Amino acid sequence: MTHDLPTELLATTHVAALDFEAYVATDPTRAPDWLAIHDRTRLTPDQRTLIEGFVRRLNVVVVSGTWCGDCVQQGPLLARIAEASDRIDLRWVDRDEHPALASSLRINGGDRVPVAVFMNEFFEPVSILGDRTLTRYRAIAARNLGPSCPLPGAPLPAEELAGTLQDWLDEFERVQLLLRLSPRLRAHHGD
């Protein structure tokens, strides 16, 4: 992955990007799949308490595709995390409509989605995570590298959904701690 992301590009992309509801609404034929996962996703009380305790602002832009199965199965989890804190400003862009950003975020030589770019309050990049979390990769490997493969469109098991949610939450927490412990930001905020 290339980490040479200009702050100006990230800031202008984030400002122009859509919130979850508006992004999903851009594709009415696929929106029900996104909303079904969103409806299934629940934060535990401990997860909610953790997120509500965030102090630093996190700007996050997700490069996605409404047509992408991994985006459908992970995007709503990100939305649930962001809904739990007014410190998280999560925005969405379509990969094909933002080629300059997408080409800077190639994974394994390809334009993968979803890719989340975590930024501080000044739109400086802090972390990049995509295209799948470890739980997603383990589940896909178990299905595809084992003796049989599931049918396309097979339902997402609850334990995979919960594990993937926790993977994403761990990254949000890691970035929040990085921002909280940053000497530069501590000096800036006087804490």
The model's pTM is: 0.92
Cβ pair 25, 148 in contact under 8 A: no
* Tokens linked to 132: 């799948």
Q: What is the CATH number of domain 7-189?
A: 3.40.30.10
Cβ pair 175, 126 in contact under 8 A: yes
What ranges do the domains of the chain cover?
Answer: 7-189
* Tokens linked to 156: 């997402």
Give the model's pLDDT for residue 150. Answer: 53
The string of pLDDT tens digits covering residues 128-155 is: 999 999 999 988 888 888 665 555 556 7
Beginning with the edge strand found earlier in the chain, give each strand of the sheet holding 125-130 in spatial order: 88-94, 58-64, 115-119, 125-130
Give the model's pLDDT for residue 1. Answer: 41
SS3 call for 44: coil
The string of pLDDT tens digits covering residues 39-86 is: 999 999 999 999 999 999 999 999 999 999 999 999 999 999 999 999
- Tell me the C-alpha distance between 169 and 67, whole Å: 24
Query: What is the CA 24 to chain-centroid distance, rounded?
Result: 14
